[in-house]
A and B are shown apart, each in its own frame.
Chain A
Amino acid sequence: MARLPPEPPSSEITPEALYSGRREFLKNTALFVGTSAALGGGLWTLARHGSRADPPPPVAEVPPLPIGSASAPGAASAAVVKGPYSTDEEQTPFRDVTTYNNYYELGLDKSDPALNAETLRARPWTVTIEGEVKKPVTLDIDTLISWFSLEERVYRMRCVETWSMVIPWLGFPLAELVKRAEPTGNAKYVAFQTLYDPRQLPGQKSSVLDWPYVEGLRIDEATNPLTMLAVGLYGKSLPGQNGAPLRLVVPWKYGFKGIKSIVKIRFVEKEPAATWNQAAGNEYGFYANVNPEVDHPRWSQATERRIGELTRRKTLMFNGYAEQVAGLYTGMDLRKAY
């Protein structure tokens, strides 16, 4: 039979007051830790909900461009021509370009689109070219892409929210598409429309904007050699969050003009009702040309933060593309036609 161990000498027994004091101390420590963790955690959650610490790095998931698979298999980006008008300014890192996006159809916070983009299926995808054209057509995106030789253009991108990036786009001049569509004499504007499919673009379930997103350009803006339709960036096909598989790039205008995930290109006679312009016409004009002298009603447009830089830089007239585009607006009051 096992024997109980001998009782410890009374000198080793913790006095009752000390024993309960230790319990009190432990309890208070637990309350302290619990309370501070709850407050700290609560504040952190409320303040940083929009930016989960680790957005998935999209690098690996972005497929290479399927284009060129007929002519130059597996060497799409190598076949790309270096386009004109490229800036040699330092390019914004791929990670920032693909994790800091305004694409309300995929979420309202800047980090949301990268996290939600997997619902957007860039293939199969059809694009309709219609309206005031001699050759209306609905065609597969890869057929459309095969019409053109792709070029890389490194453009500045200035957001209306006063931040900017430098992005190496891959695409083709919109002017070439316009030429192929053969617009009629009535075609004064080009309207673009984003895919409407709340399953693929779940942000369209919310009524924050009128869906689908619509943007437009005057026909002479559309055919300006700077204007391009992009199908990729950094030599890869466009990630969903950047507007896969086809988006507009108009580097002298604020970023919201660069409509994403285009399904329809319509040539029209009247100025199209562009989404942000309809939502808040006093803040977002149809032209939306980058202009440091014309402020947004709620903030100055004189300076911008280049993503990755600490200090602000001066915003350039027409985002630095005045030489190419200022002539489009001669005689216009840019304060009125903002």
Chain B
Amino acid sequence: MKRTLRPRAWLQPALVTGAVLPAVGLGVEAAMGRLGANPIAEALNACGLMALVLLVASLACTPVRALTGVAWIQPLRRTFGLLGFGYAALHLVIYAGLDQGLALKAIVTDVLKRPFITVGMLAFALMVPLAWTSTKAQIAKLGGARWRRLHKLAYVIAPLGVVHFVLRVKKDLSEPLAYGAVVALVLGVRAVLWLRKRSAAKSGLEAA
């Protein structure tokens, strides 16, 4: 009989705890007045950046599993994805609620007129259905094939996040471009894997 994998029961709670800690840290620092002269901008930027990092981590799971063969990495895709969505939501709440003070007109104008906000909002809008369909019940309801097709959106969302970052930077592009490079690498590995799988399937068909 095949040996079952170790359950690693600690892993998911550890990732959730680890990812929530910085949000708690930001709250504590804000309360203590330690977020600097412009705490809203500081918290806004920190949440946006962490959202991007977690989304990239989510996107990296499949290539890393494929390259290393470590199977337990695969389910972390969902964990990282949802945590990234959480920070993106926090980022949006800080922008709309604290930065703009819920001034709806200003927000709508921003979304329509400012490309970096348009792109950011689009990325968030695309994340909502993915978060919504992340439960087992939803996967079953949609069926594996449709679910997988829908969740290919993740490959659009992360680049949108990078574009959002690039467009808002004043001059020094090195940081957003570094994230862009990581996203490109992850997507590149994925593309190579996909091409290889396809040609394998093709030759398999020809052989049959």
- Identify the A interface with B (CB < 8 A): 28-29, 31-40, 42-44, 46-48, 51, 53-55, 92, 95-96, 99-100, 104, 108, 110-111, 161, 163, 206, 208-209, 279-280, 295, 298-300, 302-303, 305, 307-308, 310-312
Contacts and interface: CB of A to CB of B under 8 A. Distances in A.
A40 B10 contact: no
B34 interface: yes
A300 B106 contact: yes
Contacts of A300: 106, 109-110, 113-114
A35 B15 contact: yes
Nearest to A159: B38
Nearest to B7: A28
B15 A36 contact: yes
B35 A51 contact: yes
B10 A32 contact: yes
A100 B37 contact: yes
Among A35, A163, A305, the most chain B Cβ lie within 10 Å of the Cβ of A35
A163 B99 CA distance: 11
A110 B37 contact: yes
B17 interface: yes
Interface in B73-132: 98-101, 103, 106, 109-110, 113-116
A110 B42 CA distance: 10
Size bracket, chain B contacts = 35 or more
B21 interface: yes
B204 interface: no
Interface of B: 9-11, 13-15, 17-22, 25, 29, 34-38, 40-42, 45-47, 49-50, 53-54, 98-101, 103, 106, 109-110, 113-116, 167-168, 170-172
Given A42-B53, A43-B21, A305-B41, 4 more contacts: A44-B21, A44-B22, A298-B168, A300-B113
B139 to A, nearest CB: 25
A206 B173 CA distance: 12
Q: Which of B18, B53, B115, B167 has the most CB of A within 10 A?
A: B18
Contacts of A312: 99-101, 103
Contacts of B29: 53
A303 B106 CA distance: 10
A36 B21 contact: yes
A181 B153 CA distance: 65
A298 B18 CA distance: 34
Point out which of A39, A54, A279 has the most chain B C-beta atoms below 10 A from its C-beta.
A39
A208 B171 contact: yes
Task: Give the most central of A40, A104, A300, A302: most B CB within 10 Å.
Answer: A40
Contact of B17 (A40, A96, A295): A40
B106 A51 contact: no
Contact of A51 (B10, B42, B101, B115): B42
Closest 5 A-B residue pairs measured CB to CB?
Answer: A39-B18, A36-B18, A100-B37, A40-B21, A96-B37
A111 B53 CA distance: 23
Given A47-B50, A51-B36, A280-B171, A163 B41 contact: yes
A39 B101 contact: no
A35 B11 contact: yes
Contacts of A298: 114-116, 167-168
B38 A40 contact: no
A28 B50 contact: no
A308 B45 CA distance: 18
